Amino acid sequence: MFGTLKPYLPWLGTSLIALLLILSNDNQQVKALRGNFSDLIVVGTSPFSSVLKAPRLWNENIRLHKRLSEMSIMLADLSSSGEECQRLRRMLDLREKSEYRLIVAEVVGINPDMGVRGMLLNVGRDDGVKINHTVIIPDGVVGRIYRVGKSSSAVQLLLDPNIGIAGRLVSNREDGIVHAAGGRKLKLDGIPITVKVSMGDSVITSGLGGLFPPGLLIGYTSRVQHSASDWLWEVIIDPAVNFGSLDELFVILKSDNAE
């Protein structure tokens, strides 16, 4: 290879000496030429510099994305923990202030009985639970116990079409019967059209019939429409309970309405 370059060595040496003289000269034109030469070097080496930096930038990008993902997970955990603390605090507050004797129950599954919309709980006869005991959370009424085993029970949700609750409009004390209205809606039947129904009015248990204790929140009025009878309203209710996120519940223990 050295033999191939040998004829060009004098030219290369002369060029190198000329370049050194140019770079060491303080003449204004030479300085301008030197600046242009520097620019040429920068432009010419930029692609190579970017190529050399690419692996480092790629690794840095991966590291930053990983850190961002970790921080997002941490924020989600903190938010979830905060919501969980609030929920548990409300459960504890209800248990301490309630006038009823309550027992905590955990949801362990969906009710397997055909034709009944409900959930399975991990408390039963050994815990004092009986049929028709009311099931609640701090938000409001969930339903009633309809089947009891030794250490488990099944709750029939308010969303089940086969259950009815004696309800009352808080604003005017009008009584009616609350039924499922399809989906996750309820309806209050039996309200005369002569009664003014306000949107957002609270609907509570009236206690009539003795099945559910009085004063428990059922939901809020969201729409009023004519029922099959021209002289009655059908009041649509948004339930106070989110039935899709039930974990722990309270069963109100009593014996006067149990079978």
| Co-location of 134 and 92 in the same domain | no
| Co-location of 87 and 107 in the same domain | no
Backbone angles phi, psi at 132, to 5 degrees: 80, 5
Cα–Cα distance measured from residue 244 to residue 116, given in angstroms and rounded to the nearest whole number:
16
DSSP designation for 8: G
In a domain, 259, yes or no: no
| Co-location of 81 and 46 in the same domain | yes
In a domain, 258, yes or no: no
CA dihedral for 205, 207, 210, 216, sign (positive or negative): positive
| Co-location of 146 and 202 in the same domain | no
| Co-location of 135 and 179 in the same domain | no
State pTM to two decimals: 0.65
Report the percentage of the chain scoring pLDDT > 70: 61
| Co-location of 28 and 103 in the same domain | no
- DSSP 3-state assignment of 149? coil
| Co-location of 104 and 78 in the same domain | no
Kindly report, residue by residue over 119-154, the tens digit of the pLDDT: 999 999 999 999 999 999 999 999 999 999 999 999
Residue range(s) defining the domain that contains residue 57: 1-97
| Co-location of 92 and 105 in the same domain | no
In a domain, 14, yes or no: yes
Which residue type sits at 34? R
Question: Count of residues for the chain?
Answer: 259
How far is CA 162 from each of CA 99, 118, 210, rounded to the nearest angstrom?
A: 29, 11, 18
| Tokens linked to 246 | 């039930």
Domain count, the chain: 3
Q: Write the CB contacts of 164 (distance below 8 Å, at least 6 apart in sequence).
A: 177, 178, 179
Among candidate residues 97, 121, 144, the one where a domain is terminated: 97
| Co-location of 126 and 202 in the same domain | no
Q: Could you tell me the CATH number of the domain that includes residue 152?
A: 2.40.10.340
- DSSP 3-state assignment of 181? coil
Kindly report, residue by residue over 16-39, the tens digit of the pLDDT: 555 555 555 555 554 455 445 544
Q: Which residue has the higher pLDDT, 70 or 185?
A: 185
